[in-house]
Structure 1
Amino acid sequence: MAITGIIPQLRTTDMASSIRFYTQKLGFSVEFNYQDFYTGIRTGSQVFHLKLVDDKDPSIPYVDQGGHFHLYLQTNDVIEFAAKLKAKDVLLVEDVHETPWNTREVVIHDDQGHTLYIGEPL
């Protein structure tokens, strides 16, 4: 037996808005949509899930205040990814920058306020 993947889950109070954000703004695709309650989002070989809930994710303020993230998405060209985000009017929380731990990253919020880091190793 082997673990073949890890699938994180983000909460959303507006599934349609979250699907639009991830598909139209980030260019990802819908893997599945179960009764507008639970949706899989795919980018390349990676998947994460969205779950419809009544209340906003309570971790959002904690993550913002502590410099944490909800998802870290690794890419092979963060500068190009950031340019595509800007072209689609996605507000950058932090523009492309290099870190002391040898990555190049950009930080955004999704439509619900989740913090997403997009980065590449240097």
Structure 2
Amino acid sequence: MAISGVVTQLRTTDMASSIRFYTEKRGLAVEFNYQDFYTGVRAGSQIFHLKLVDEKDPSISFIEDGGHFHLYLETKGVEDFAAQLKAKNVPLVKDVHETPWRTREIVIHDDQGHTLYLGEPL
């Protein structure tokens, strides 16, 4: 069996707010909307999904406490992107830094509190 892709799903209690965060703050695009509870967001050649739920994602505090992430987006130009986020008043959880595993990364939270890493290989 060959796997041609992997799709991540993030839960949101406010679809409109999450769509605004990912399109206006992050500069991504809505790929599709299914009724009013499911949305695909395009990040370059990748897509992740947002699903409307009644309660906040229970993994948010666990992820934050353990130094894990909900979504890792590999990109180029992390320093420039960090500056764009700051200009749009998106607080960085961790500013641009280099890791021992040879990446340059930033860490942010989305409108729901999901932990997002954005990184590029050095």
Please state which band the TM-score falls in when normalised by the shorter chain.
over 0.9
The alignment partner of 2:40 has SS state of strand
- The 5-angstrom pairing of residues 82-101 of structure 1 reads 82-101=82-101
Uncovered stretches (5+) of structure 2, i.e. residues with no partner: none
- The 5-angstrom pairing of residues 70-109 of structure 1 reads 70-109=70-109
Matches of 1:121 and 1:16, distance apart in 2? 33
Matches of 1:108 and 1:26, distance apart in 2? 11
The alignment partner of 2:50 has SS state of strand
How far residue 113 of structure 1 moved from its aligned partner, in angstroms, is 0.1
How far residue 2 of structure 1 moved from its aligned partner, in angstroms, is 2.2
Aligned to 1:5: 5
The alignment partner of 1:40 has SS state of strand
Uncovered stretches (5+) of structure 1, i.e. residues with no partner: none
Matches of 1:36 and 1:90, distance apart in 2? 26
Identical amino acids, percent of aligned pairs: 76
1:66 equivalenced with 2:84 (yes/no): no
CA RMSD of aligned residues (A): 0.7
Aligned to 1:116: 116
Aligned to 1:38: 38
Q: TM-score, normalised by structure 1?
A: 0.98
Q: TM-score, normalised by structure 2?
A: 0.98
Q: How many positions carry a matched residue from both structures?
A: 122
Equivalent position amino acid for 1:116 in 2: L
Equivalent position amino acid for 1:108 in 2: I
Structure 1 residue runs of 4 or more that deviate by more than 2 Å after TM superposition: none
